[in-house]
Amino acid sequence: MSNYKNVSKRFFLSLCFAYFVYAENAAPDFVNIMLNFEKEMNLIQEAFLKNSQTLVEVRQRRLKKLSNQLKEIPTSFYLDKKTRKFQNLIDLRVMRMDEELEAMGKALKRKDIDFAFQNYLNILNECNSCHILFHR
């Protein structure tokens, strides 16, 4: 029995350690995702201004990848005492942004660049809506 306790204690400790390592790694990941979001959003804007379907497609794919990475980080990781009460709103921002990127991908497939541009504006709105929640 005490052997069993020992094993479960060890298991618990290694779980804590794993979580610690995970949290430590998620932090730089999160900032990197944000910095890359900014870079890709600037580049996709340029692509729209050039009216280049191909360049917009490249940036849409990069943004979608970043969005997938963001989805994998639980929002609870970057919430604190002040922002915890907005968790639902923040979860929604992550979801909406991903949906807009999905819709943009579909718009680009049917060569509807105007629709894709509207998706771009909606995504920009999601970036800002989320940041506002963190700056109170």
Write out the residues near ligand HEC by the rule CB under 6 A: 31, 34-35, 37-38, 41, 78, 90, 93-94, 97, 123, 126-127, 130-131, 134-135
Instruction: Name the minimum Å distance from CB 31 to ligand HEC.
Output: 5
Which residue intervals of 50-112 are DSSP H helices? Answer: 53-72, 87-109
Of residues 78 and 115, the one with the C-beta less far from ligand HEC: 78
Q: How far is CA 110 from CA 53, 76, 96, 117, 118, in A?
A: 11, 37, 21, 13, 15
Residue 29 corresponds to which amino acid? D
Instruction: Name the minimum Å distance from CB 50 to ligand HEC.
Output: 20
- Rg for the chain, CA atoms, rounded: 19
Of residues 63 and 108, the one with the C-beta less far from ligand HEC: 63
∠ CA 48-53-57, nearest 5°, is 95
Instruction: Name the minimum Å distance from CB 17 to ligand HEC.
Output: 26
Of residues 9 and 39, the one with the C-beta less far from ligand HEC: 39
